[in-house]
Amino acid sequence: MKFRSALAASLILAFGSTGAAAGTSVLFVGNSFLFGFGSAVRFYRADTVTDLNDEGIGGVPALFKSFTQQAGLDYDVSLETRSGSGLDFHLANKLAVIGRRGWDKVVMHGYSTLDADRPRDPAKLIVTTRQMADVLRAKNPNVELYLVATWSRADETYSAKGAWAGQPIDVMARDVRAAYDKAAAGVAAKAVNPVGEAWTRAIQTGVADANPYDGIEAGKLDLWTYDHYHASTHGYYLEALVIFGSVTGRDPRSLGVNECSAYELGLSRADAKALQQVAFDQLASAGVVVAAPAVLPKAANPERCSVRR
């Protein structure tokens, strides 16, 4: 009997020490910038995640799930998204859905211009981030909060009517990041995911084109989709890589050039490699991840990549 009790205790201790990767619940809260509007990402692998709104969305959460599976991590991924909304919409309309359980980690963001009615004003983001944090911590005081600082919108920069009209393409991303830093400080968030800065890095290093309105330079990617507002498949892939690295602490390059989601979504190995490098460089510059040897799985093929674990 003593042996059985000791064995049971040791098993509990062993399983309890496996860390955050063991069955960790992750909720994504946001809008079209998370659900993948304008790209094949929108309904990608929707069967691997739980859409709390029952709209069949896969989106960036499904990309994140795919990356974690390939990395051998166990994350239970859910999402609650609504087009054109900030956190104020979710607070007013979706608390019954969001609050149905306590979450281990929550990844969230507000409206792309910070405030739909008052572009560039961070006040609403700061207030609603705190309100959402209070809701989430009422369910789980230990929930880890990750904010997503989104990308510069080409339509808000190159259009004469844009809120960032006439300014360099990187300015909007820097302003958005500054706002999220303030919001994060107010709720002691775990991290701000530097998605917009990764987009800027991709442009500055020649991986991506800076202005989709004047054509895409040969050999460069267009991170925006057809409306020059939302992301292309490449843009959402980069977003998911940054979130993956930030939340898990893993080097995005460890996924390798044969990463399954890139293959399934039609990205070339060269594109996957370049975007993984951009994500790593951005995260490493902030000390979020450290270099790890690349894990190069077998060449991507339908049989290997179709596995749902």
* Ordered structural domains, the chain, with CATH: 21-305 (3.40.50.1110)
pLDDT of residue 298: 55
Contact, 71 vs 289, CB < 8 A?
Answer: no
Given pLDDT bands bounded at 50, 70 and 90, which one contains residue 305?
confident
Torsion over CA of 154, 170, 221 and 289, rounded to 10 degrees? -130
- The per-residue pLDDT for 296 is 52
Mean of the per-residue pLDDT values of the chain: 91
Residue 13 has pLDDT above 70, yes or no: no
Residue 3 has pLDDT above 90, yes or no: no
Pairing of strands 144-148, 191-193: parallel
Q: What is the pLDDT of residues 16-74, one digit of tens each?
A: 333 343 589 999 999 999 999 999 999 999 999 999 999 999 999 999 999 999 999 99
So what's the pLDDT on residue 236? 98
In 3D space, the residue among 65, 15, 29 whose CA is nearest the CA of residue 45 turns out to be: 65
pLDDT at 6: 38
Average pLDDT value for residue range 170-197: 98
pLDDT of residue 299: 55
253, pLDDT greater than 80: yes
pLDDT attached to residue 159? 97
Band the pLDDT of 290: cuts 50, 70, 90.
confident
* pLDDT over 90 percentage in the chain: 86
Q: Report, as an integer, the average pLDDT of 131-151.
A: 98
Report pTM: 0.90
Q: Is the pLDDT of residue 89 over 80?
A: yes
